[in-house]
Structure 1
């Protein structure tokens, strides 16, 4: 279970699991430490110290009353690492976790060994007008309870709906990917876990509202100042964070690679026929860049 720690930048809710190279998961919008924990499940606990936390305004991490900016969030993450006596960590960021991840790399470069950005927001994002069904399921307390109930009794329906809603797939492709996810316990669990955290009510509402406000007024995140290695993973039919966010980031970053997932939705890194292969690439990416940093320090 998570705990609340006090850093020089404020309090933050954190859960840590495993031993080895530290990796922090920066969850999307909405989310929380629980969603961040799911993001790290694919990494083996005997090789990685997996750090899941709630971003400001989500669950146990309250918004800073004086500064609710993206930069303050980045500084809070850096202070968390300092408090935990972690000199350097890798970053795994998804979707709405992109802005603070990029700003963390700009403002505190010495603390970051490498980054993996999954369909991450990299410039101004305007909240779209969600359909009434989404506003009910994810924007009301009853809808939240219903999603939890359906995840137990009809998981296939939740998975199918998530794939259809997070990407521009044909009905046949939705059915094909749904069957593929249902056949893989880790992928099935990932989608259902995400569905349970994707609501903007209760203790997640302040964070969601703050993200919507902050992301709509992004001018630039100064990606040109990010110098650590960045691996970008993007589904090519993602309708949540459109591919141009990743493609533009790739063009502006000085040291990046882009993996474009064919027929990949916003969930492609966790729910797709190629998900396990891509996750293995990411594990290798983290290990190689950690090892490289250690060698550089010994010179």
Structure 2
């Protein structure tokens, strides 16, 4: 009898094969040359992760992270299918603005193992606090992306002394009758099956022949990228590549897909900024509005366009985040 993981891989392989046939590109990716290229790119990506990530022993077990920059510490918590590499990419502007970015790999992602019994948002928050302990950081600004908002909110609620401020970017927060979700289309279901399969080859293939479906699965409407600049499309490519290799992220992706307990919004008391977009295909606006209405004095910015990745909104996000932090006495230290 096949394991659930094996069944998932088989399903993903079938979906990718169907997509290849439909686009007429099966021949382009067939044969030894394509497999050799896939293996070479996977090995390069794995080596890059191994060289950049650091594994630290904590009271909650080993946790992987990476650092960049100097100044006030910012703990960056990635979203689904990410890892410390996604956090570093998303927080690039904070490094340039004079902050010390600590990008963590959540449990089940890359080098941070999933505990045998799984991990709730509160468990992950305890792991975040343990990482701060191991690094000698008393308190940090916390920036959370998408599904990372769940453990960020738990950290602020359960360990209030550790969180100076919250920056929630396109947060995957449930609201009554409105849970964040991808669009229910055949293309999105196929892309999600690839992500949940843990198959590096399936993702590598999909990035080349099913990019529109992957973008929709990442919450970005097709027209948003079509209107984006070359520089912004390059940023989207970098974010997409933070899911590759996929296999060492599979346990975390599966845990994120199962959902989460209600967020402890009423217990959050730190300064909070929430930014999302109306056309986010994950439908994060209802949860963002709920969080802003519940957390005392939280600031909410709902951009008209940009999708889940806030395409072409990077400068607006940067300006809003830096102004918010400066307003609360947490300005960076450029030139340190």
Go from structure 1 to structure 2 and tell me whether the alpha carbon gap of 1:70 and 1:168 turns closer, same or farther (over 3 Å shift): closer
Cα offset, 1:54, TM superposition:
0.4
* TM-score normalized with structure 1 length: 0.81
Task: Kindly state the Cα deviation for residue 178 of structure 1 after the two structures are TM-superposed.
Answer: 3.0
1:53-72 equivalent positions in 2, closer than 5 A:
53-66=104-117, 68-72=119-123
> 1:237 pairs with 269, 279, 287, which one?
279
1:1-299 alignment runs, 5 A limit: 1-45=52-96, 47-66=98-117, 68-123=119-174, 125=179, 130-136=188-194, 139=197, 140-146=199-205, 150=208, 158=211, 166-167=218-219, 169=221, 173-174=223-224, 177-182=225-230, 184=231, 187-198=232-243, 201-215=246-260, 218=261, 220-268=262-310, 271-272=311-312, 274-291=313-330
CA contact (8 A) 1:233 1:261 kept: yes
Q: Distance in 2 between matches of 1:147 and 1:17?
A: 31
Is the partner of 1:258 in helix, strand or coil?
strand
- Show the counterpart of 1:295: none
Gaps of 5+ in 2: 1-51, 332-336
State TM-score, norm by structure 2. Answer: 0.73
Runs of 5+ in structure 1 lacking a partner? 293-299
> What is the CA-CA distance between 1:146 and the residue it aligns to?
2.5
The 1:72/1:137 distance shift into structure 2, 3 A limit, reads closer
Change (3 A) 1:162 1:285: farther
